[in-house]
Structure 1
Amino acid sequence: MSALKHFVFPDHAPNSGTVKAKCKYCPTYISGNAKTTSNFVTHLKRKHRDIFIQSKSEDGTQISQTNISNFTKSTSVSKYSANDASQMQITDALVSFVAGNLTTLSVVESPEFNAFVESLNPKYQLPSRKHLSSKLLYQKASNIQSNIKEKLHSAESVCLTINLWSNRQMKGFLGITGHFILDWCMKSIMVSCKRFKGKHCAENIRQEYEEAVACYNIADKITNIITDNASNMTKAFDFSLPGYTCNHEEINSKSDSEDENDESELEPIKLDFPEDDLPKHGRCYAHTLQLVVRDGLKDASPHLKTVISKASNIVRYVRKSINASDILEGEKRLQADNTTRWNSQITMICSVLEVSEEKLNKLDTIKVTGYMSVNYYKNYA
């Protein structure tokens, strides 16, 4: 019989190297090697002679030195190899989960998450945090980029929407989204979203745009580019060239009226310029509408301006006051206005009117509205 059955081994004993096992009859830990288990037999002979003799008589043979790996196979589940199809499939799903939900990489080190994965599939080996961050995520990003390149290569033409913004830490980001039709279906793909360092000038914007386009080799497929109305965006995507800002008829008419001997002016060169091959720059309709609404509110009646101002004060007060938030608990969240959303003011006023008058009256409206009753909003909103 085997001497190893008299010892308690770790759940995941290694197949090679030294392992420590606890004796079932005393608190002693015995070290043994996967190839040599004589230490376990010696311990039984010296410390537990009666058990050793009893086991020998029951079995009728000497206690054998069974390999540790063979013994632990019955107590632990063998794991998938790194190249196993199931291991690779689950790992790919894990990477998509982490990247798609912006989950922290430390999730693979969480004991609760490890127990969850173990209950789903005991054979799966979770990757380490270092392996996840240094290799798996980069491989996933490379595969996604290759897929995007393949789709853009199959598209006949591509339209781009480009936006530049800053987060709360005042770090700039440039986002480029591609839109095209493939297999009679409308597709939208994030072409680029990266940190934008330096001045937000037209030259830097154009450089980042050209790098993104060159990465996917779609310069000849772009037909339209949509941006907001900012001057740096407008200048960055002005594809007109010097000497071609006016049409050919105007150039020819001017050349006929000028003195032929006047060498101070360059004669217009008649070239068949491929204007249709250059992207056409358009301005975002939603942003243009916002500018119209903003200019219109500047000329609004005093009553409307007062309603917007007081409603905005209520929202700001509720968002900063713990007591006010407790009073409005259970109600829909009050919506603040936004300078870049053309309908945000009406949305804000509607959110205030949806709150019951009883709860609004409990707020410290004297500080917020200047002795103005809630009925004022209902009459003029």
Structure 2
Amino acid sequence: MDERYTPISRTTITSKQIPQLVMRVKECIKSSLVDQKSISVTADIWSDRTMRSYLGVTAHVLNSSTSGYTLNAYLLNCRRFKWRHSSENISAAFDEILDDYNISDKVDFIITDNAANMKKAFKVIMADHSDDSEDEEDMVGEQLDTDFLLGSRQRLSCFAHSLQLVIGDGMKEVKVMSRAISKMAELASLLHSSTVFKDRFEAVFGSGKSILVSNVTRWNSQFRQIQAVIELDHTALTQMCSVDFENVVLSSREWAQCRELTQIFGPFAEATELTEGDKIVTISMVVPTVLELHSHLTEMDSEKRLCRPLTRALKASLKRRFAGIFVGLRMAEDHGLDLPFGHDIYMLGAMLDPQFGMNWVEMDVRTSGSATTIQNTKKELQKSLTDSLITQAKKVDLDICEEPTEPTQDSPPNAKIPRLLAKNSQKEQFHPWISSKCQQ
């Protein structure tokens, strides 16, 4: 190194260069948002291993150009949150971030998890008292006046997070399988920590096979771990572990239980991955996905004997945590309460997506009665949904003549799909639409 070179000091980097870079990025984001008329934001608060809390806020917009439309996301802030996690403190910090970007009057929807304090922070009408707890339980008994009007700030629940809560409810029913699941976790640990076990494993199954070490905070990783083990030959695995590693040998019953577990949870894992994208429209998938999962669990309940308590627990949790959808489709009783996922936007989003239309009504809406009664109910439901769509469309000022643009050659919409999720989560059976979306 040239002795005349003087390295940049730590102080210069931290107190000058990084703040300057932050300001440049912030100004770039502001310029991207200045002409936006409608913005949706996601907000989340979490703590790291040292219990330091952070609040993250991301803006999501639809940009148009002569080449078409694109979905873009901008991280507005990820700041230390040093105060109590009360609804008032969260709301104040959130509003400060929006004011910093001059977008407070442009935000239509706020997507958060189901923690009680996050719900209260973004209620349309704030309660007189706050509940500072962060219990991830749905406050089903609340009465809220939330008419669907575009342009008014409203909170929606994160679909992926709600789905994880359903899975968590189901996992409470598989305690009898905890020993088998622990054995699989130990198999993965041995494969990544013991050279003797790894050499023996590769000698039997080849170097291309492996078992993922699961992440305790990501349910999908635990599912993929179990799936990787089940894809192995049970007899060969048992023989391989019968010497020196007897404690991880899976009995025939444990193996059968885990196989059923992957078949039951497969569509849940697929739905989670499918709806976590930020470059594709995902809100239209909510209703078809929930209904298809409900149909899947109904079928599994009659087929899977070893995991029947699991399927029933999942089905009950799905109907509770997505009660608004089931009530809106007359698949559950309406008790006049503000229910999770009861917003009209979920139904409207599915109807307006040309890949779905209202196919899901015919395929997955299940009601009781004779065949004629069920068919009449579905026709009435389709008419009601269509009328609702027309009513909401009349409220929206499209401004189609405000800024004329050059005509563009749009690609034709994808064909309607019979099923959103693949049967038994087999990747080779994915519909082409699903494969193309997952690769983006």
TM-score with structure 2 setting the length? 0.45
Map of 1:314 onto structure 2:
187
Distance 1:298 1:163 in 2: 25
Question: Secondary structure of the equivalent of 2:96?
Answer: helix
Distance 1:327 1:198 in 2: 52
Cα offset, 1:310, TM superposition: 2.5
Map of 1:361 onto structure 2:
241
Distance 1:327 1:199 in 2: 52
Q: Which has the higher helix share?
A: 2
TM-score with structure 1 setting the length? 0.51
Alignment of 1:203 with 2:81, yes or no, is no
Q: Which has the higher strand share?
A: 1
Map of 1:377 onto structure 2:
255
Distance 1:227 1:143 in 2: 28
The structure with more radius of gyration: 1
Map of 1:137 onto structure 2:
18
Unpaired runs of 5+ in structure 2?
A: 129-142, 260-440
Distance 2:28 2:248 in 1: 54
Look up the equivalent residue of 2:27 and give its one-letter code: S
Unpaired runs of 5+ in structure 1?
A: 1-10, 14-78, 80-107, 110-126, 249-272
Alignment of 1:278 with 2:158, yes or no, is no
Q: 1:376 to 1:209 in 2, by over 3 A?
A: same
Question: Secondary structure of the equivalent of 2:34?
Answer: helix
Aligned residue runs from structure 1 range 1-381, under 5 A:
130-183=11-64, 184-241=69-126, 277-300=151-174, 302=176, 304-316=177-189, 318=191, 324=197, 330=207, 334-338=211-215, 340-353=217-230, 357=236, 361=241, 364-369=244-249, 372=250, 377=255, 380-381=258-259
Q: 1:130 to 1:295 in 2, by over 3 A?
A: closer
- Identity of counterpart residues, as a percentage? 32
Q: Is the 8 A contact 1:353 1:378 kept in 2?
A: no
Distance 1:209 1:376 in 2: 48
Distance 1:346 1:246 in 2: 37
Q: 1:348 to 1:207 in 2, by over 3 A?
A: same
Cα offset, 1:223, TM superposition: 0.5
Distance 2:52 2:108 in 1: 30
RMSD: 3.9
Q: 1:210 to 1:311 in 2, by over 3 A?
A: same
Question: Secondary structure of the equivalent of 1:299?
Answer: helix
Question: Secondary structure of the equivalent of 1:343?
Answer: helix
Q: Is the 8 A contact 1:324 1:363 kept in 2?
A: no
With a CA cutoff of 8 Å and minimum separation of 6, indicate the structure with the bigger relative contact order.
2
Q: 1:364 to 1:355 in 2, by over 3 A?
A: farther
Q: Is the 8 A contact 1:360 1:374 kept in 2?
A: no
Distance 2:70 2:255 in 1: 46
Distance 1:222 1:354 in 2: 47
Question: Secondary structure of the equivalent of 2:104?
Answer: coil
Q: Is the 8 A contact 1:311 1:352 kept in 2?
A: yes
Q: 1:147 to 1:378 in 2, by over 3 A?
A: same
Alignment: residue pair count: 234
- What are the Cα deviations for residues 250-297 of structure 1, in whole angstroms up to 9, with x where unaligned? xxxxxxxxxxxxxxxxxxxxxxx9975531111111111111122223
Question: Secondary structure of the equivalent of 2:123?
Answer: coil
Q: 1:246 to 1:282 in 2, by over 3 A?
A: closer
Cα offset, 1:215, TM superposition: 0.9
Question: Secondary structure of the equivalent of 1:169?
Answer: coil
